[in-house]
Structure 1
């Protein structure tokens, strides 16, 4: 066993063959254990009235631990601490014998009163007579995180002040994850132990919210409260392991040229040097790259969840507008901001959707399938023939699953035929400035203007900003209150028309219609592309990614996956979800695979039903798969 060394924080780190773990101390009411001052890895086992009869039974427990958990390893099996509820010496003696035959030394036996709560079973470190929970340390080699977090003991968080992979990944953060064995799902905490990362425009108590701005981070203090939506997840048992990178203030930025304050995260798909896409790219990169992370939260104002998921080959959903609280967010526009998440499989996304948008009553609700599949000829077919063939094959399977034939029509033509009588503009003309005028004035008044004033008053100079945000500082003040009011009125007229002619909002969580849209073009977009200047994105225009948000409807991204990164859990055969399109990498000169992704839009208010539908669809197709490797030529940490 390698030596144990203290870190700069109050944590301890142990290097145990394949595991690097900091520790968090046990509860104060657990008895002190007589032990020397060395740090000893051990396993806590609980006996409830029945002895562990054989060495084989001990090994079966250890085997189960190793299957369930990435923190526990065989190095923790050399020593054991036994806790038994009730005073049954015969049971204790038999268990001691089984452990001895298995080659395990019993360090301590604790007989607990019947009303005492035992420690969770699993891996611990014994030091100075106290037990400390074990964490495993992983490197953030994809650059997806802005800070790694651990609990601060006061219902908040603090940063993990540790670096465990400096030689191998010199600029990578170290992320600590707790043992999954510590958590048991209950009625009160049905999602106990599920690991999640949070985008760094969302508040966590005890930490600063930086919004990927060094100036913003330096100016404002740590947060005293956790964002309402995140606190809801914590109450349900989720475990936060870090904050993920965002574009600056969740605006639209091109990697790498627009990323000035912080380097953009890496997209593990294709050759590993494709764009990670929109503002929630850090959350998407973390889920796409790291199998030890279950979910990540992002935000979507006009595409910031959906676009990174499509680019990085994972599932995500922009929810119904207002489905979650936006309290505790760095705002773009409260009228448009939504919180959603990322997962690697459709089945996992159902879990996240239930937690975020559901209730105890909806967790196990059975939904009917939609009876209409909308196929908008404004956006179909895509120009790339290979991609369209993949999309057609997938849509054919959706039709088979639903037992319907797609309903094809042009949204623009339908608008021209049935728009309100007092409107004579095309849909593109009518909505050309809708988001631009509705949202950007909010960004100026609610974020940029007060930030500039606060920073200048305290620092005596203006803050340094990334190129896109510098552009917005000059542009957003020009939007007038009259323009904002006009845009909001036009959006309200459009929604009324959309609900009547295309897809009515849901009253009971069910959507009778599903719309499918393309989210990829079949062309690679690289992270090293030089630009003549900042993107100068304002949200002007009406495109496929506006359809869902303008109707305030949920949209769930269905990813394709790269054959280099995914394989079937059942058969080991390489499979596709929507599919992949080949391209020749300008970096490697080899043929790589680019994910093809589509989006499903359902009726406003049918978020859980949409996730449930997609899960059932992939069960039917048989293509719900999980990633097993990360960037090509670079496997995930096994340290």
Structure 2
């Protein structure tokens, strides 16, 4: 099936997308049919049977795209910067191995290091050499669309546009990890990333979880600024993940109206996926071939799915990453959320964004333990919290400080706001900010209301910075606060509990 610049190919039991034709040599371009190719960096006396077999085994172990099927009825391409290599110089045992596997052998000599291709699997045809991108089935229905890069320089994408071989689900295309050696200049090289469908990709539709939004805005003409940064660092964007409509409080699946919600791979497979970054959580939690997923978080849209899918999750500090190219929900609170199965993957993103390692920063000197929420009513959940806080106390060398945010607000907020309960104050800010962003409240927002919301947001932010999460004279944070998340026990997707969120009462 032809589409855009790729063609699907089946090799053994695995489906692939042939991608990015590259002109190499007359011999390869004369292939009369699609042929698997293995490219290796080896010449002369290095081409011993033991070395060859060890190299191939190592590449297969390191990469899920390169399988043993690439080593039958194929082309084996040795490339180097040296002259004089040919099949005639190969040891007898290597020639016998090639004949046994019906492998044709070629030698390519380049004039500079820039010409050398990464080792790994390719496909050859009369049009040239193509990268091999493996197609995975989106069995969890986590993706709303899958993509591959159309033009790296313009940060543009094409939809993959095919279904998996079963015909039941979308196919997600991922490139060989062998194409992307890590380097200081490309610390995220080859990292496979999915992004939430409120994050724009040039050339791809943003649905925002809504059919109406999809019909109104269509294909986007920009890629989000932070996604550009990830691409510049070497990340590969493989698709856009499902979300609650308008990043709202739809609880999958009962309240998801326009798009069917993802499945959660945990336990019996019938746990709720949570929201609003449900697809990002499902993809990172359920697919070992995906490294990272990005969502957004305003009031829990990344933290809740991270907990539901058993993932490491980070709600980035507000304004830490640029939000240009992301459909806003409540701008004073919107931020990126990162999902991964390992904290090291999240750390890699932070380091690539210029955030220093832990031992290069001043550590907090206070642990705030808000009694507005703690202790939990469930003993097992409280025990887990106590264990975590104990580890944090040992790491920082300090003992927790109990605090009541309600009482602190009444005591230290600006005088003209102290009589307003903190929950009511925050609710009004969020309500007006969201109405400004999406106009979903069905009412006009006056300039006075807009100005009031901006002023009150600043009041709250200043109060948090000056009275609660204080900083030292150098600007380093002095305090870290423990916050509640989720509820104990299973959360089946067909049962909506009466209390979904923890509130300050």
User: Is the shorter-chain TM-score for this pair beyond 0.5, marking a shared fold?
Assistant: yes
**How far apart are 1:50 and its partner, in Å?**
6.1
The 2-side partners of 1:521 and 1:429 are apart by 20
Question: Is the Cα–Cα contact under 8 Å of residues 205 and 224 in structure 1 kept in the other structure?
Answer: yes
- CA distance change for structure 1 residues 334 and 389 in 2, over 3 Å: closer, same or farther? closer
TM-score, length basis structure 1: 0.72
Question: Is the Cα–Cα contact under 8 Å of residues 428 and 542 in structure 1 kept in the other structure?
Answer: no
**How far apart are 1:232 and its partner, in Å?**
1.1
Equivalent of 1:89 in 85, 90, 99: 85
The 2-side partners of 1:41 and 1:341 are apart by 36
Q: What's 1:504 paired with?
A: 470
Q: What's 2:203 paired with?
A: 206
**How far apart are 1:481 and its partner, in Å?**
3.7
**How far apart are 1:344 and its partner, in Å?**
1.1
Q: What's 2:18 paired with?
A: 23
Q: What's 1:126 paired with?
A: 124
1:377 aligned onto 2:371? yes
Question: Is the Cα–Cα contact under 8 Å of residues 52 and 94 in structure 1 kept in the other structure?
Answer: no
Residues 37-436 of structure 1: pairs in structure 2 closer than 5 A: 37-47=32-42, 51-78=45-72, 79=74, 80-89=76-85, 94=89, 99-103=94-98, 105-114=103-112, 117-128=115-126, 130-153=128-151, 155=154, 156-166=156-166, 170=168, 172-355=169-352, 357-358=353-354, 362=356, 366-425=360-419, 427-428=421-422, 431-436=425-430
**How far apart are 1:511 and its partner, in Å?**
2.8
Q: What's 2:7 paired with?
A: 12
- CA distance change for structure 1 residues 95 and 185 in 2, over 3 Å: closer, same or farther? farther
The 1-side partners of 2:504 and 2:26 are apart by 63
**How far apart are 1:429 and its partner, in Å?**
5.5
**DSSP-derived class of the 1:517 partner:** coil
The 1-side partners of 2:458 and 2:54 are apart by 61
- CA distance change for structure 1 residues 38 and 326 in 2, over 3 Å: closer, same or farther? same
Moved more, 424-433 or 194-203: 424-433
Moved more, 488-497 or 293-302: 488-497
Residues 623-634 of structure 1: pairs in structure 2 closer than 5 A: none
- CA distance change for structure 1 residues 364 and 310 in 2, over 3 Å: closer, same or farther? closer
Question: Is the Cα–Cα contact under 8 Å of residues 297 and 340 in structure 1 kept in the other structure?
Answer: yes
The 2-side partners of 1:412 and 1:50 are apart by 75
Q: What's 2:485 paired with?
A: 519
- CA distance change for structure 1 residues 494 and 26 in 2, over 3 Å: closer, same or farther? same
Moved more, 104-113 or 369-378: 104-113
Question: Is the Cα–Cα contact under 8 Å of residues 188 and 349 in structure 2 kept in the other structure?
Answer: no
The 2-side partners of 1:373 and 1:417 are apart by 20
Question: Is the Cα–Cα contact under 8 Å of residues 293 and 339 in structure 2 kept in the other structure?
Answer: yes
**How far apart are 1:290 and its partner, in Å?**
0.5
Residues 115-153 of structure 1, C-alpha deviations (whole Å, 9 max, x = no match): 651121100112226211111111111111011111224
Q: How many pairs does the alignment contain?
A: 498
**DSSP-derived class of the 1:477 partner:** coil
Question: Is the Cα–Cα contact under 8 Å of residues 441 and 480 in structure 1 kept in the other structure?
Answer: no
- CA distance change for structure 1 residues 11 and 496 in 2, over 3 Å: closer, same or farther? closer
TM-score, length basis structure 2: 0.90
Question: Is the Cα–Cα contact under 8 Å of residues 96 and 106 in structure 1 kept in the other structure?
Answer: no
Residues 203-250 of structure 1, C-alpha deviations (whole Å, 9 max, x = no match): 111112121222322332422221111111111110011111111121
**DSSP-derived class of the 2:132 partner:** strand
Tell me which of the two structures has the higher relative contact order, counting C-alpha pairs closer than 8 angstroms and 6 or more residues apart. Answer: 1
- CA distance change for structure 1 residues 412 and 85 in 2, over 3 Å: closer, same or farther? same
Structure 2 unmatched runs, 5+: none
